[in-house]
């Protein structure tokens, strides 16, 4: 191969790479949500997809692929071509929790994805059932109840390994108490049974239970943020309630399969963060207690490592597993 031929091949490859980034998206993009329709992750995905479709004049199709704490959909995305036309919008479970809870995970969270951006985050809030509300007014009341009924106070969660489950486990570890974990197949049925007094309390995403708190149907005790939530300014943080170290945020983020070219990654990340920050998208998020993040791929990759290490420690300390 002579110098001219080699130069022509290299030049053509570079032009093709630039063209790929410039052209994206020139066909429909599938955004896999590894959970059922109607939840927080699905809502975030649809809001962002609609704005991308409007801005980029291309179809963004939501595909709900639920099951196994989000790992079925995550495995599908991990196997997809790294061309920018298959993305995943997910909560933290498949990316930083599942590998520490499940044996034989069919993908590596650290190695099999290209990290694009964390879209939003929200603290969890401890809420108690209507039947408990008259006598539970603060965290100290919760602790007194837990100590009077060791392992007998039920905590509803949206599933084993979910943010609300691990928050409860961390709370018990920090306070030397223990409750009864009652997992559901999603946040909606957990909240429904909490409202119906079938369970005692729950750590839920602020945005998921805000309407019930505002309507007086659920009583909020404390939030897991490092500051008070703007939508619940009267509710203290756990640090203010003398339970330091209980800072937990649930989050929704976007990833692609491993091997996405850097220029395509950067183009998609820029389009995603632009859509997230658009007031038509961001205001409905912040109105219900979500906080915008919209960070860079590099920041997200570092965050994933930190979150994975943190929850591994909690899971091991609590001897938590999924059967």
Number of C-beta neighbours around residue 48 at 10 A: 28
Per-residue model confidence (pLDDT) at position 279: 97
- Residue 16 has what pLDDT? 47
Residue 25 preceded by cis peptide, ω within 30: yes
Contact 91, 226 (CB under 8 A): no
Cβ atoms of 221 and 202 within 8 Å: the answer is no
Q: Could you tell me the sign of the dihedral formed by the alpha carbons of 185, 191, 197, 199, in that order?
A: positive
Q: Given CA atoms 234, 237, 238, 239 in this order, what sign does their dihedral have?
A: negative
Kind plus residue range of the DSSP H or E element containing 71: helix 71-79
The SS3 of residue 225 is: coil
The pTM is what?
Answer: 0.86
Mean pLDDT in consecutive groups of 10 residues from the start of the chain, 323 residues:
52 47 87 89 96 98 92 97 98 94 94 98 97 98 97 92 92 97 88 97 95 97 97 97 95 98 97 98 96 98 96 92 69
CA distance 171 to 154: 14
pLDDT at residue 323, rounded to an integer: 56
Q: What is the CB neighbour count within 10 angstroms for residue 323? A: 4
Question: Do residues 202 and 156 touch, judged by C-beta distance below 8 A?
Answer: yes
Side-chain half-sphere CA neighbours of 317 within 13 A: 14
**Helices and strands per DSSP (H, E), number in the chain:** 11, 10
pLDDT score of 166:
94
Q: What is the pLDDT of residue 19?
A: 46
Domains delineated in the chain: 26-121+249-318 (3.40.190.150), 123-223 (3.40.190.10)
């Amino acid at each position: 191969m002579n110098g001219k031929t080699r130069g022509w091949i290299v030049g053509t490859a570079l032009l093709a790479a630039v063209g790929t980034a410039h052209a994206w998206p020139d066909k429909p993009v599938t955004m896999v949500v590894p959970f059922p329709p109607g939840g927080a992750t699905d809502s975030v995905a649809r809001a962002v997809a609609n704005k991308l479709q409007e801005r980029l004049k291309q179809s963004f199709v939501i595909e709900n692929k639920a099951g196994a704490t989000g790992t079925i959909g995550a495995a599908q995305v991990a196997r997809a071509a790294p061309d920018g036309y298959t993305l995943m919008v997910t909560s933290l479970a498949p990316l930083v929790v599942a590998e520490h809870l499940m044996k034989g995970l069919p993908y590596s969270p650290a190695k099999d994805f290209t990290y694009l951006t964390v879209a939003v985050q929200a603290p969890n809030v401890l809420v108690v059932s209507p039947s408990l509300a008259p006598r539970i007014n603060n965290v100290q009341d919760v602790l007194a109840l837990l100590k009077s009924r060791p392992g007998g106070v039920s905590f509803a969660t949206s599933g084993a390994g979910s943010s609300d489950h691990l928050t409860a486990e961390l709370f018990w570890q920090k306070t030397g108490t223990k409750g009864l974990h009652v997992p559901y197949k999603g946040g909606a049925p957990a909240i429904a049974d909490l409202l119906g007094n079938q369970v005692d309390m729950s750590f839920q995403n602020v945005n998921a239970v805000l309407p019930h708190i505002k309507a007086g149907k659920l009583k909020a005790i404390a939030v897991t943020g490092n500051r008070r939530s703007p939508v619940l300014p009267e509710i203290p943080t756990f640090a203010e309630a003398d339970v330091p170290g209980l800072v937990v945020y649930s989050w929704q983020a976007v990833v692609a399969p491993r091997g996405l070219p850097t220029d395509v990654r950067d183009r998609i990340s820029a389009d995603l963060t632009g859509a997230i920050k658009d007031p038509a998208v961001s205001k409905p998020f912040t109105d219900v207690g979500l906080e915008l993040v919209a960070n860079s791929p590099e920041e997200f990759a570092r965050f994933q490592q930190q979150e994975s290490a943190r929850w591994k420690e909690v899971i091991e300390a609590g001897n938590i597993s999924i059967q």
